[in-house]
Chains A and B, each alone.
Chain A
Amino acid sequence: MKCKQYYEELIQNVLDGEATEEEKKILDHHIKECEPCRQHLHELKKVIAFVQSSSHIEAPLGFTESVMAKLPERKPVSKWKQ
């Protein structure tokens, strides 16, 4: 299953958007012949797509009001500790 570490790192770089054009070509070429690497790249892309597709959640109604209701007094020298 494990291909050379070189390709593993190349896959990570490509996904991070940090690979050079040259490196991308090397990987493209490699995955045409290497099934495990092709699969690995495909699965990682799928994971990213899943996570990115999580729809965005909004703060509940009345959120701002409830924060404002809890604000402490602000003093120049604050005694409040977190």
Chain B
Amino acid sequence: MDTIVKRLIREVRKGNQQAFSEIVELYKDKVFQVAYRMVGNLHEAQDVAQEAFLRAYTNLDRFDIDRKFSTWIFRIATNVAIDRLRKKKPDYYLQEEVKGSDGLTYESQLASDEELPEDQVVSLERQEWVQAEINQLPVKYRTAIILKYIEDLSINEISEILDIPPSTVKTRIHRGREALRKRMRHV
């Protein structure tokens, strides 16, 4: 994977714009996933994910090719998402949007090879509930929890992405976990 990405990045740097579409293809789902979990609604997630790739494209010359591209793109994506969350709206409003998913349906976003329709209804409800609980977390805990448990990244990778020491990552995960526990314990 890394070798392919390096080659593609070099291509883009040489002026082959089309090579960038292959990079987007490789990372779009992961980036979209982080964006969606962070902002909690599909339209906004699409904006955030697009913006992240556009920024990556314009700044591609600054990317250190010996590092992991995924770390870099996650870093850009979380920054874009955090900016949005700061600027746009207070948290309670975000909650509203999780429920009324506008236009795009939640269902259409699920991988198609999963489960039968009946099971899906139950699991969709739970999905929405889990997402709503994640969205209740303060942004810095939310980010750490998403990267750790949904993207399954190591403490060190998260530390690089968020540009904070590993010990701080751990503290945020602990606090996020604890906050979720208090909210979800009676289920």
A: which residues have CB within 8 A of B?
12, 15-16, 40, 43-44, 46-48, 50-60, 63-64, 66-68, 70-72, 74, 78, 80, 82
11 A–B pairs (Cβ distance < 8 Å), ordered by A = A50-B184, A51-B130, A55-B111, A57-B32, A57-B110, A59-B29, A60-B42, A64-B25, A67-B53, A70-B54, A80-B58
Please name the 10 residue pairs, one residue from A and one from B, whose CB atoms are nearest each other, closest first: A59-B32, A59-B28, A51-B149, A47-B180, A64-B24, A57-B109, A43-B185, A67-B53, A80-B58, A43-B181
A-B pairs with beta carbons under 8 A, tally? 117
> Shortest CB–CB separation between residue A32 and chain B, in angstroms?
21
Residues of B within 8 A of A44 (CB): 177-178, 181
Across the interface, do B150 and A52 meet the contact criterion of CB distance under 8 Å? yes
Using a CB-CB cutoff of 8 Å, which residues 114-140 of chain B contact chain A? Answer: 114, 123, 126-127, 130-131, 134
> Shortest CB–CB separation between residue B126 and chain A, in angstroms?
8
* Dominant secondary structure at the B interface: helix
7 A-B pairs besides A54-B37, A67-B21 with CB distance below 8 A are A16-B170, A46-B185, A51-B145, A66-B50, A67-B54, A78-B58, A82-B58
Q: Does any Cβ of A come within 8 Å of B55's Cβ?
A: yes
- Could you tell me how many residues of chain B have their Cβ less than 8 Å away from some Cβ of chain A? 52
Residues of A within 8 A of B46 (CB): 59-60, 63
With most chain B CB atoms within 10 A of its CB, the pick from A51, A52, A66 is A51
Across the interface, do A56 and B29 meet the contact criterion of CB distance under 8 Å? yes
